[in-house]
Structure 1
């Protein structure tokens, strides 16, 4: 994620009356944050909410950790393990930002303030697998090992995640991937879990292959700007699935503020939210079918490797999923019984006609 600006806030004093009140940013700032959420309009998210809001779905955010103290994420976050090997666990800013884009619920009266995620009724499982770019421990070879991602994927699968969001990659040593990570990806797909990852942010330079986005079966997401044009920094490869908003993105930051940033990280988080909407509405669909629904429902498809199947669209994905939705087993059973009865009726009619022909033939023989 490319940081453009931080919007600091002041915390209001809270009167404790039996339970700690949730601190919140100043109302003016929270209102400004909501007004800046252009991706919700570009992806037809509000129209999609008439069909699904992500209820019952757990999205694992494999990142720098998610801060549950942010008012837009109150009651949303389940805290998983810290797999970085760091001396002390911190709540990551990057992970918090991604979680808010997936399942932010806003705050205040009627939740009209703050950031709304694409799937505001989904839950977040936070698994810390990497450190912030400016963390002083990042340079320690013993800390933040890539093996943490493989372990984190397996942990998320085994603890009920239906969607795994990985806004990761772009750093040193991630252009080759690893057998452990690829095995973990296959394990998740075998358990019918949807995996989403950011395509990477060096598209204007080396445009290197990026993992985990490059693993087969992972939904790799690039970025577009507000005019739905490919962002120059967004990586371009043939494994790209879709693109999503990734410039001028406002999100939660730390326990009590917001930031505006560019990057494919945000784009991947938005698509993870779309996957949660589809999984909530159509839980019988497989991980592959969810991926196909997201790709078929994409809007504004464009030629070239930088767009994949087009711009991810929440409503379009749900509409595509509806067409793919399996007929309920009860209906299949009824159809099967009806088919059997119909075939039996045809069989009886055939036997009857044969008997009539036989009788007529007998009469002709007797007459002669």
Structure 2
């Protein structure tokens, strides 16, 4: 793809949280479900499964696997390496093992799985793929439709999802790099201004008074955690020269939690390096150094960067990608040097594991920004994607520089959006935000809600650096107060564009 943006080229809309504790008696609906098992013992095809997903999303309804019938869930499990993820607990908010007494629920569920799947010949270890170390989540191997029927009738289940199922693999209209690319492009001289000691300021920064805000704050002392596809090893400005020029006195840390394997039991991560290009662009927009190399500078050029490679691309369509992102959220949640988390990634449906991990990090005081969604023209009717629609995240989308609010060519909007960022010239979709490229000495343009999210994360770092004792609520309130529509909220664009100068004064 030309621009490294959040091109979720699948049907996307505002999705709901999978968090329904079962209050029904154990055998409720079992007779009817058993009839379905008998009649529908053959799994649906991926085309049939995707048709159900598409129908729900195209109707602007929230797609949640737990709300589907047992046969559909089981069919997706069959086509997803038999992986079933179960979020358990005493109620919707019982997701954290630290303050939970749900061990008995987990043991009961495993006993039922073994009883149905094992035929008395196996034990729990034969079916347990993984148990989360901090969250009430287990991943199990399921082959029998009756197991899904039984689980859906149980109390203590918050959600049940066939996390091995890959929607995108079966969508012929959606074959793409899902936001990836290593392209570079020379910058138009009208799209930047050169400032001391020789750095380029993207034109979009002036739309938010970011350069004026630098007179008060440059992000020093604040850690921004970027969960994405990793960080390039081939651009020194995001590696050894990250702490250079006007950006001295800070650090970059790189971690990799994504497992690039089709084997669900695999735990070997594939490193910290970006193999997509998207993560590098997002980290650069937020934190690239201000020096004399003649490259685009980041919003918070004195902030610390903590990069987590949690996913292969921007679409969280797979078991290991979902685990990688969730594990990154937990890790960042537990880091004392991180105040802000930026996530320019998402999915067209809710993902229970990531939802739990977002709430885990949120409860530890992290301010979490998430992309509202970017797509191609055939999906421009849909709304805000997951996890941006969550109450625990701050949803951001991109708009043009027109004198009225207009979303970018490929940006989503909706009532879940909190803020907007100008990142595209009106009427010219190729003139977006200048950014460092994947390689030394090269530049590129990036667009969509992805770059809008990373930009807003950088502005938040400016505010938090200016007021280091503030809580995330105070920082968020200041962002709202400095935005166009405050104290009101626009139905499609939230509080609108932030004035960074006003935010830091």
User: What TM-score, normalized by structure 2, do the two folds share?
Assistant: 0.52
**1:292 is aligned to 2:467:** no
CA-to-aligned-CA distance 1:99-152 (integer Å, 9 cap, x gap): 1110111443xx5x1011110000111101111479xxx99x56x431221111
Matches within 5 A, 1:198-277: 198-202=371-375, 205-227=380-402, 229-247=406-424, 248-256=432-440, 257-277=442-462
1:59 corresponding residue in structure 2: 224
- CA 133–152 in structure 1, closer or farther in 2 if over 3 Å, else same: closer
Corresponding position: 1:312 with 2:498: yes
Structure 1 residues 45-67: Cα deviation after superposition (integer angstroms, max 9, x where no partner): 11111111000111011000012
C-alpha distance in 1 between matches for 2:503 and 2:184: 33
Q: Distance in 1 between matches of 2:369 and 2:453?
A: 6
Q: Distance in 2 between the 1:31 and 1:68 partners?
A: 27
Offset at 1:34?
5.8
What is the CA distance between 1:263 and its match in structure 2?
0.7
1:91 matched to 2:274:
yes
Distance 1:208 1:229 in 2: 15
| Structure 1 residues 286 and 103: alpha-carbon distance in aligned structure 2, compared to 1, 3 A threshold | same
Aligned pair 1:168/2:349, yes or no?
A: no
* Structure 1 alignment gaps of length 5 or more: 10-28, 320-368
Aligned mate of 1:46, from 211, 222, 226: 211
Relative to the length of structure 1, the TM-score reads 0.70
Listed one character per residue, the Cα deviations across residues 292-322 of structure 1 (whole Å, up to 9, x for unaligned) are: 2112111367974332101122112224xxx
Aligned 1:167-206 pairs, distance under 5 A: 167-169=344-346, 174-202=347-375, 205-206=380-381
| Count of matched residue pairs | 289
1:356 is matched with none
- Identify the match of residue 149 of structure 1 among 297, 302, 325: 325
Q: 1:38 Cα shift? A: 0.9
Partner Cα separation in structure 2 for residue 244 and residue 208 of structure 1? 17
SS in 1 for 2:418: strand
User: Which SS does the other structure have where 1:161 is aligned?
Assistant: coil
Provide closer, same or farther for how the CA distance between residues 133 and 178 of structure 1 changes in structure 2, counting only shifts above 3 A: closer
Contact kept in structure 2, 1:5 and 1:260, CA below 8 Å: no
Comparing 47-56 and 283-292, the one that deviates more: 283-292
Question: Are the aligned partners of 1:82 and 1:128 in contact in 2 as well (CA < 8 Å)?
Answer: yes
Relative to total residues, which structure has the larger helix share, 1 or 2? 1
2-structure distance, mates of 1:153, 1:133: 15
1:119 corresponding residue in structure 2:
300
Deviation at 1:226, TM superposition (A): 2.7
Gaps of 5+ in 2: 8-178, 243-250, 262-268, 425-431
Contact 1:297 1:318 in 2 (8 A): no
CA 1:8/1:224 → structure 2, altered by over 3 Å: closer, same or farther? closer
Work out the CA distance in 2 between the residues paired with 1:106 and 1:68: 19
For residues 469 and 444 of structure 2, the distance between their equivalents in structure 1, rounded to whole angstroms, comes to: 37
- CA–CA distance in structure 1, aligned partners of residues 482 and 284 of structure 2: 23
Q: CA RMSD of the aligned region, Å? A: 3.1
Structure 2 counterpart SS, 1:260 = strand
Give the superposition deviation at 1:255. 2.9
Q: Distance in 1 between matches of 2:485 and 2:418?
A: 14
Rg bigger for which structure?
1
Quickly say closer, same or farther: Cα 1:133–1:56, change in 2 above 3 A.
Answer: closer
